Amino acid sequence: MQVRLSYAERAAYCKNALAKKLFFLMDAKKSNLALSADVTHCEEMLALADKLGPEICVLKTHIDILEDFTQAFTIELRKLADKHHFLIFEDRKFADIGHTVKLQYEKGMYHIVDWADIINAHGLPGPGIVSGLMDEGLKKQRGLLLLAEMSSANNLFTDDYAKQTLRMAEQFPEFVIGFISQRKLSEDPGWIYMTPGVQLQEGKDALGQQYVTPDIALVKHQSDIIIVGRGILKASDTLAEAKKYREAGWKAYELQI
């Protein structure tokens, strides 16, 4: 097995302050687990964040699935992120021209730039999308993940698209922190890879989601962070289940350094 640099060592290669912070946070907390908090009410999300916060490095949101969203909610969520030392990642998947995504990032009901440390975007529209988001994000020390691959069956992503996404990221190292992908894409140790579609057993759901195990994601495919939603959320004891994923993820990482 290939020996890899530790997360803390890789921080030295990051050109974005938030990426460095994330690597150090993972190292200090001994967690490469991101919780996909796909719940539809604010109280439920806050309770999850408070309970599972100590186990995770990142809490991933879909802010537009909340039925009772208020600005006050984001203030409470940020307090929990500071209390438990995790970053907030809004899985918004921006995909429009630079001018529009800038508005979607800063304005509207959600004011995403005010509370989300990390956002993601498709590179499909071209580099203007990154420039638009960076205009707002950089001054608040935020970071962007580009979508290079997806976990769903029969998606339209190709190897060439992933390579071109990497090339786009390389044009914006001060703002792009890494990728949503199923695998490592580059030999540059500064990029962070986050992988959704992870459960303790391989499998799929009824709508095309495909799952790999933490070992496959982190060892075989050399990703860095496992993103887990229903694997934890559907368990009767979510805390015990989160601990299982955290241990599995950390063991897979430690094997390689």
The binding site for ligand 5BU (CB under 6 A) comprises 36, 38, 62, 91, 147, 150-152, 180, 196-197, 209, 227-231
- Minimum CB separation of residue 128 from ligand 5BU in Å reads 21
- Minimum CB separation of residue 212 from ligand 5BU in Å reads 11
- Minimum CB separation of residue 195 from ligand 5BU in Å reads 8
**Token pair for 104:** 């979607």
Annotation says 244 is catalytic: no
Catalytic residue selected from 30, 93, 204, 243: 93
Helices (H) and strands (E) in the chain, counts: 10, 10
Nearer CB in complex with ligand 5BU: 73/245: 245
Nearest-CA neighbor of 142 among 199, 60, 210, 87?
87
How far from 63 is each of 70, 73, 98, 201, CA to CA, in Å?
A: 10, 10, 21, 28
Give the C-alpha separation, 246 to 59, whole Å.
Answer: 13
How far from 48 is each of 70, 109, 110, CA to CA, in Å?
A: 17, 23, 20
Nearer CB in complex with ligand 5BU: 20/92: 92
Nearer CB in complex with ligand 5BU: 19/146: 146
Nearer CB in complex with ligand 5BU: 20/244: 244
Give the C-alpha separation, 24 to 19, whole Å.
Answer: 9
- Minimum CB separation of residue 234 from ligand 5BU in Å reads 8
Contact call for residues 115 and 77 (beta carbons, < 8 A): yes
Query: Catalytic site residues?
Result: 93
